[in-house]
């Protein structure tokens, strides 16, 4: 399978981001499958969207709250033309770890529940308005330049994350309809289970029992990107994980199935914005 290196990794340009958006706000990579180096909290305020992740898909509407793990690939498809209002909070792992206590782990809400493939719950109208208000306060503090704004931002972030975790811990999680086609789900699973190997259309045909062109077409319709682009992006994300664990770049190249180190380094740099060695040093 020809390797492409179309960038799908979005590095966060701050430790904490909070944006209260409408359909007119830039979607960045949201229309294609993408990921980034931080956790994401998504609260839908208006419109209907389909959210697809590597694990499954779910129809979302006002009041739906989603927590996505760091580096998880996801994509939003807007169903209601011209309407998509939402709150998006992105935060890096070390920030949440520092804000947690011995009694409260603020990362709890990002662990997948066993009921649905997408980690989502539904809030009451009162809960939606309260979380939306807190998000606007956090956004204003992050953008503010007055003395003390950084202290307020820290407090608002903790307030939001405590509320989100309580919602996930206290609410009964109900089953939701799975909207991802079974063939696409099987394709995601095959890639996940064979990521360290060479993955070709022939492999997929033999294991999924469908024509390769048909598999590719079905996958791109849901993911927004080609199979080749996704496989490369997944390999790079695995590389990031292995590099953070201290494995040498040369070993990581071999473990992730790249055919040469120069190809690995070039592709990694294009996706992540820095060389494997520099990435490892910065994340040691």
Give 180-222 pLDDT, tens digit per residue: 999 999 999 999 999 988 899 999 999 999 999 999 999 999 9
Q: What percent of the chain has pLDDT over 90?
A: 77
Q: Where are the domains of the chain?
A: 9-170, 182-282
Interior angle at CA 58, CA 72 and CA 31, nearest 5: 60
Query: What pLDDT sits at residue 168?
Result: 95
pLDDT reading at 126 higher than 60: yes
Radius of gyration of the chain (CA): 20
CA 172 – CA 19 distance, rounded (Å):
28
**pLDDT (mean) for 20-45:** 81
The Cα 195–Cα 221 span in angstroms is 21
* Mean pLDDT (whole number) for 18-24: 89
pLDDT band at 11 (very low <50, low <70, confident <90, very high): low
Residue of higher predicted confidence among 46 and 5? 46
- The second-level CATH assignment, the architecture, of 182-282 is Orthogonal Bundle (1.10)
- Prediction pTM value: 0.87
State yes or no: pLDDT of 172 exceeds 90: no
pLDDT in the model for residue 3: 42
Per-residue pLDDT, 29: 42
The pLDDT of residue 9 is 62
Question: Measuring CA to CA, which residue among 63, 92, 54, 9 is closest to residue 188?
Answer: 54
Question: Comparing 269 with 30, which gets the higher pLDDT?
Answer: 269
Give CATH superfamily name and number for 9-170: Regulatory protein AraC (2.60.120.280)
Chain segment 73-96, per-residue pLDDT in tens: 999 999 998 899 999 999 999 999
SS (H, E, C) the chain: CCCCCCCCEECCCCCEEEEEECCCCCCCCCCCCEEECCEEEEEEEECCEEEEECCCEEEECCCEEEEECCCCCEEEEECCCCCCEEEEEEECHHHHHHHCCCCCCCCHHHCCCCCCCCCEEECCHHHHHHHHHHHHHHHHHHHCCCCCHHHHHHHHHHHHHHHHHHHHHHCCCCCCCCCCCHHHHHHHHHHHHCCCCCCCHHHHHHHHCCCHHHHHHHHHHHHCCCHHHHHHHHHHHHHHHHHHCCCCHHHHHHHCCCCCHHHHHHHHHHHHCCCHHHHHHHCC
First to last CA, the chain: 33
Domains 9-170 and 182-282 share a fold: no
Q: What is the pLDDT of residue 273?
A: 87
At residue 137, the pLDDT reads 98
Residue 1 has pLDDT above 50, yes or no: no
């Amino acid at each position: 399978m020809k390797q492409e290196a179309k960038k799908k990794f979005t590095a966060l340009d701050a430790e904490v981001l909070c944006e209260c958006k409408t359909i007119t706000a830039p979607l960045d990579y949201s229309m294609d499958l993408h990921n980034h180096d931080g956790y994401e909290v998504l609260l839908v305020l208006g419109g209907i969207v389909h959210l697809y992740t590597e694990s499954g898909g779910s129809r979302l509407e006002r009041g739906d709250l989603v927590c996505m793990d760091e580096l998880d690939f996801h994509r939003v498809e807007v169903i209601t033309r011209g309407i998509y209002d939402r709150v998006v909070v992105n935060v890096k792992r070390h920030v949440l770890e520092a804000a947690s206590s011995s009694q409260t782990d603020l990362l709890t809400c990002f662990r997948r529940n066993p009921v649905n493939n997408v980690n989502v719950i539904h809030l009451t109208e009162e809960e939606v308005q309260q979380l939306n208000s807190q998000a606007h306060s956090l956004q204003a503090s992050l953008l503010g330049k007055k003395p003390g704004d950084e202290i307020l931002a820290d407090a608002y972030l903790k307030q939001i994350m405590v509320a989100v975790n309580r919602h996930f811990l206290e609410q009964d999680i109900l089953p939701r309809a799975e909207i991802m086609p079974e063939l696409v789900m099987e394709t995601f699973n095959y890639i996940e289970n064979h990521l360290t190997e060479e993955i070709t259309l022939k492999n997929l045909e033999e294991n999924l029992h469908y024509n390769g062109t048909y598999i590719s077409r079905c996958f791109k319709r849901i993911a927004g990107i080609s199979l080749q682009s996704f496989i490369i992006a997944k390999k790079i994300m695995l590389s990031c994980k292995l590099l953070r664990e201290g494995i040498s770049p040369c070993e990581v190249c071999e473990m992730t199935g790249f055919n040469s180190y120069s190809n690995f380094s070039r592709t990694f740099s294009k996706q992540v914005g820095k060389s494997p060695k520099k990435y490892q040093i910065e994340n040691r």
